[in-house]
Amino acid sequence: MKHTVAIYPGSFDPLTNGHLDLIDRGSKIFDELVVAILRNPEKAALFSLEERVTMLEQQTGRWKNVRVDSFEGLLVDYALRQKAQAVLRGIRAISDYEYELQMALMNRKLRPELETVFIMPAEKYSYLSSRLVREVARLGGDISKLVPEIVEQRLREKLDPAFKLQSRKVKAGRT
Ligand code: PNS
């Protein structure tokens, strides 16, 4: 029987509930789903690669056919090394379509047998992006419904070092 492997690539800076929704949907379609974080030395990320791997591993442990990895270089080469037949990407709105179409067609040009499969996340996540989460968190807005609790906490710690100190004191019962 055919064993289907798909790569779900992205920056995941940070992981959002929209990503988890897509992982859930993808895990039901493919036998194996590899969530692959791009190691991109040219793009400064808020979270280090190690932090992103840790958060993703924590949050995807519930799916037995999902694993987390990172890659650099061409996605099509990485997919070949992973023996994947498909790339999974989410399309939230028409605005995503042009960029996603361009990438899918370029990947097809580079490796015709690798299919890109698009999935729509739940409507409630259709406006959600890592970029907006970072911005709202930076400006002090409520992101509790948009990201897992651990991501919210790490974001707060990163953007406000005083928050880390405060939560350590609370844990130690010193407030
Ligand atoms: O979450 P993102 O930033 O939209 O993900 C973009 C990603 C990682 C899927 C894309 O940048 C990528 O595949 N990069 C790897 C380099 C590559 O293969 N480039 C050519 C693809 S058109």
Question: What is the arrangement of strands in the sheet containing 32-38, beginning at the earlier edge strand?
Answer: 66-71, 32-38, 5-10, 86-90, 115-119
Query: Rounded to an integer, what is the distance from CA 163 to the centroid of its chain?
Result: 25
Quote the mean pLDDT of the chain. Answer: 93
Q: Is 87 in the pocket of ligand 1 (CB under 6 A)?
A: no
Q: At what angle do helices 149-159 and 161-171 cross, to 10 degrees?
A: 120
In the chain, the largest separation of any two C-alpha atoms, in whole Å, equals 60
Q: Is the pLDDT of residue 162 over 90?
A: no
Is residue 67 annotated as a catalytic residue, yes or no? no
Q: Is 10 in the pocket of ligand 1 (CB under 6 A)?
A: yes
Q: Is 85 in the pocket of ligand 1 (CB under 6 A)?
A: no
Contact 61, 148 (CB under 8 A): no
Is residue 25 annotated as a catalytic residue, yes or no? no
Mean pLDDT, residues 89-108: 96
> What is the tens place of the pLDDT at every residue in 15-53?
999 999 999 999 999 999 999 999 998 889 999 999 999
Rounded Cα distance between 175 and 169, Å, is: 6
